[in-house]
Structure 1
């Protein structure tokens, strides 16, 4: 058996709300516990949170951090796991309950093919009733990546269907959900972990793109089950990081000619989002994003990341576009204007770009 490091990131009172059930389900795994290390990165740490964790989960290794940077917190956990000779690192949310074969199935899927770099669990919305426990609804069976940098879950809200095909490993064309995925040691050493400039949101997109451009597959382990206490929110802070980071993803990963061809639709989308930002009280966050991209420091970072990414990439923009989507089909953000105006326009442009982009 190979050694696995599980990285959980706490933020303020998460441990008080979520740790107990998460811990119980980790301790109930069929994977041999002597080959499992649990790392709790205490983000925005306090004396109270460290004391609570040490009493509640004495076998876990506590790694304190102070600034709340989620991407940096994962790097701290990953670094410690690799120092402890873990062959696999699992990134998981704390607001979860894991099926008893969760970890075993992740490892089995990873060992199915040497070209697999990341394995995502099948993630369900946490059931609220007995009926839902019998037939839970999907949170994510892999995430979809829109060509304009938006990410959303695949299968969200659908009732689970029994898997009669016998297939336990399925390729994910988009990206792995940061709620629960396994990544191999040799892959982490190539991609150099999380990008801490992203801070939070889209970090899982960035990791997945680095893995894919390094030539590895991203797959779903259909029998690795997670129940996620998912809450969709539209906070001002969330809007800032998601909107800023989707631009960073495009500016870092697309070739310059691709960006030039996408520029008109990027402007159209930005004008639409600017209009909506006035309506939903995120206008000042939108202005803050514009100022972020006016800083020389930002462009220095973008050029450095581009150099790292494009030097080693094993996938062309054309091959990458084949794995992207042109429509935003996510019920939590769906509205008539998006459905009847936004999606048809962006999808038509996407189909045209797929035909043109051959580099």
Structure 2
């Protein structure tokens, strides 16, 4: 097999990140121990972030799309151009904590040939740990037969900072472009495992992720609807129809129960903002699943 000419190809997909992209790229500048190339794919930003990359970082391979193609498609767009043995995916709202982070990732992958993809440790700006590793897929307790024979224990890692073997990602066809905003990382991880590889976690490679904390704290109703639809796209790809029916029934029952409980207890709860967030979440999930449920059996 011909060895790739570079250690790593770094891919960043950006959309209206003018306030963050410079910080992200500056942190990459400290990585000097590897042969590398960096791709930024701008998904038709309107805030001047593409100009920041073009004018301040001439060493970046910049691609500017005329329309927002979504996270998955934008990543796949530069995959044929990548010359690194590994692909390192980084969110533009993240920064490396110091020199050597990506080098640690490459050394980990070199030392663990059975790992096809691995995530790093993600922390919030205050240093607290972000949940970036999942040991189960959505709805997996209903789908044990579909998960037989998978390598390793980790189900998936957050796509904000992860490294993968280029030949593995090329073999499985990259990200599934049906996923627009949510769910593409867990789908990719499952397909890597089904290709015979494990998912890993590199604890000593630390990345600050600015977006993770705020996203969890405040997700609008439309966001919950998109998350729910992405989960059911994942189910349709990987689970049996009877499994999906069981998951949908359980999700609907849970949403109904939580909405009823919140309606009864809301007058007595002190944190009205938090309670309203929960109600927004479960109402959006219920409204998304009810039409899906009517297409199948109740």
Q: Is the TM-score greater than 0.5?
A: yes
For 2:292 and 2:245, the matched residues in 1 are separated by 21
For 1:246 and 1:25, the matched residues in 2 are separated by 33
Q: Does 1:6 align with 2:10?
A: yes
Q: Does 1:28 align with 2:25?
A: no
Q: By how many angstroms is 1:28 displaced? A: 0.3
Q: Which digits, 9 at most, give the CA deviation of each residue in 1:172-199, with x for residues without a partner?
A: 5221111100011121122211111110
From the superposition, tell whether residues 20 and 267 of structure 1 become closer, same or farther in structure 2 (CA, over 3 Å). closer
For 1:109 and 1:278, the matched residues in 2 are separated by 39
For 2:38 and 2:173, the matched residues in 1 are separated by 21
Q: TM-score, normalised by structure 2?
A: 0.76
Q: TM-score, normalised by structure 1?
A: 0.64
What SS is found at the alignment partner of 2:230? Answer: helix
Aligned residues: 261
What SS is found at the alignment partner of 1:62? Answer: strand
Q: By how many angstroms is 1:146 displaced? A: 4.9
Q: Say what the alpha-carbon RMSD is for the aligned residues.
A: 3.1
User: What is aligned with 1:269?
Assistant: 254
Q: By how many angstroms is 1:266 displaced? A: 4.2
User: What is aligned with 2:240?
Assistant: 255
Where do residues 138-217 of structure 1 align in structure 2 (5 Å cutoff)? 138-148=129-139, 173-217=154-198
> CA contact under 8 A between 1:172 and 1:220: conserved in structure 2?
no
Q: 1:86 aligns with which of 84, 87, 95?
A: 84
Q: By how many angstroms is 1:263 displaced? A: 5.7
Mind listing any 5+ residue stretches in structure 1 that lack a counterpart? 128-135, 151-170, 296-359
> CA contact under 8 A between 1:63 and 1:76: conserved in structure 2?
no
For 2:241 and 2:43, the matched residues in 1 are separated by 36
Moved over 6 A (4+): 273-278, 292-295
From the superposition, tell whether residues 262 and 173 of structure 1 become closer, same or farther in structure 2 (CA, over 3 Å). same
Q: By how many angstroms is 1:280 displaced? A: 1.9
User: What is aligned with 2:148?
Assistant: none
Q: By how many angstroms is 1:6 displaced? A: 0.8
From the superposition, tell whether residues 286 and 149 of structure 1 become closer, same or farther in structure 2 (CA, over 3 Å). farther
User: What is aligned with 1:242?
Assistant: 227
Where do residues 1-359 of structure 1 align in structure 2 (5 Å cutoff)? 2-12=6-16, 14=17, 16-32=18-34, 35-46=35-46, 48-65=48-65, 66-77=67-78, 79=79, 82-98=80-96, 99-127=98-126, 136-148=127-139, 173-229=154-210, 230=212, 231-232=214-215, 233-256=218-241, 258-259=243-244, 262=247, 264-269=249-254, 271-272=256-257, 279-280=279-280, 283=283, 287=287
For 2:257 and 2:39, the matched residues in 1 are separated by 42
> CA contact under 8 A between 1:201 and 1:245: conserved in structure 2?
yes
From the superposition, tell whether residues 10 and 141 of structure 1 become closer, same or farther in structure 2 (CA, over 3 Å). closer
Mind listing any 5+ residue stretches in structure 2 that lack a counterpart? 142-151, 263-276
